[in-house]
Amino acid sequence: MKGNVDDPMSAEFGTVAEWTAHVARDLGPEYHIPAACRGSGQPAALDWLLAGLRPRPGDVLADAGAGTGGPAAYAAGHTGVRPVLAEPEHGACRAAAALFHLPVVEADATALPLGDASADVAWCLGVLCTAEGPDAQVAILRELRRIVRPARRIGLLVYLATTGQLDDPPQGNHFPACGQLTALLGGAHLEVLAVADASGLPRPSPVWRDRTAAVERELQRRFGNTAQLAAATEQSRRIARLLKSGQLTAQVLVVRGR
């Protein structure tokens, strides 16, 4: 089974993802989306991306690296899109299916099992930095371009390094440098239509924050003594510290094939 403590990313995106779904189900339906958006997709960023993607009701939204499915469920609720989720961690796939009953394929975004031009829009949120380096990052961007209909749009949320040497980075991540993103997008023949710094977008509402805090408390109460939750929490803390110190920035982008 994945989700072991020797691999903090697997603990975070596998085991803890599944525990999060259990907690959210016990707390109630209004906790499902906030709980499953703890990966990276906050409401203001999702709203910004959806405004730029311009999906029509019934459009297929492919979510590459969908985590526990919160952003995709949010998109379905706000725009009427039909999400299709791709996610490599078995625990996260099970969590997304259990919480939202959305179609999920267990797959790596460098080789999406989706046909050419089979999606109307796509997004990939907080995933590029978890890929193994520039080659895998370009491969993900190429796959997004391949599966989306020509002239339609792709949303990205990316964490970028503003310095060559990050203090105490989370394990297993490969953050592109700010200047590298242009080359990665160019390598996938994607052009940028809009970009924003996620830190400039509004914070989640107090109700949303209360719900994610309740999920956090309950996760700690049930699993606080496990190495998996400790590893996942430490990964999140390191990213939060780097964002706060400015060594990382989070950008949202709307891009399209050239």
Ligand X SMILES: C[S@@+](CC[C@H](N)C(=O)[O-])C[C@H]1O[C@@H](n2cnc3c(N)ncnc32)[C@H](O)[C@@H]1O
Q: What is the CA radius of gyration of the chain?
A: 17
Q: How far is the CB of 110 from ligand X (least distance, A)?
A: 6
| Contacts with ligand X, residue ranges (CB under 6 A) | 13, 37, 39-41, 64-67, 70-71, 87-89, 92, 108-110, 125-127, 130-131
Q: How far is the CB of 150 from ligand X (least distance, A)?
A: 23
Q: How far is the CB of 37 from ligand X (least distance, A)?
A: 6
CB closer to ligand X, 83 vs 88: 88
CB closer to ligand X, 127 vs 190: 127
CB closer to ligand X, 86 vs 190: 86
Q: How far is the CB of 227 from ligand X (least distance, A)?
A: 19
CB closer to ligand X, 150 vs 248: 248
CB closer to ligand X, 31 vs 258: 31
Q: How far is the CB of 254 from ligand X (least distance, A)?
A: 16
Q: How far is the CB of 92 from ligand X (least distance, A)?
A: 5
CB closer to ligand X, 60 vs 157: 157
First to last CA, the chain: 41
Query: Are 244 and 180 within 8 A, CB to CB?
Result: no
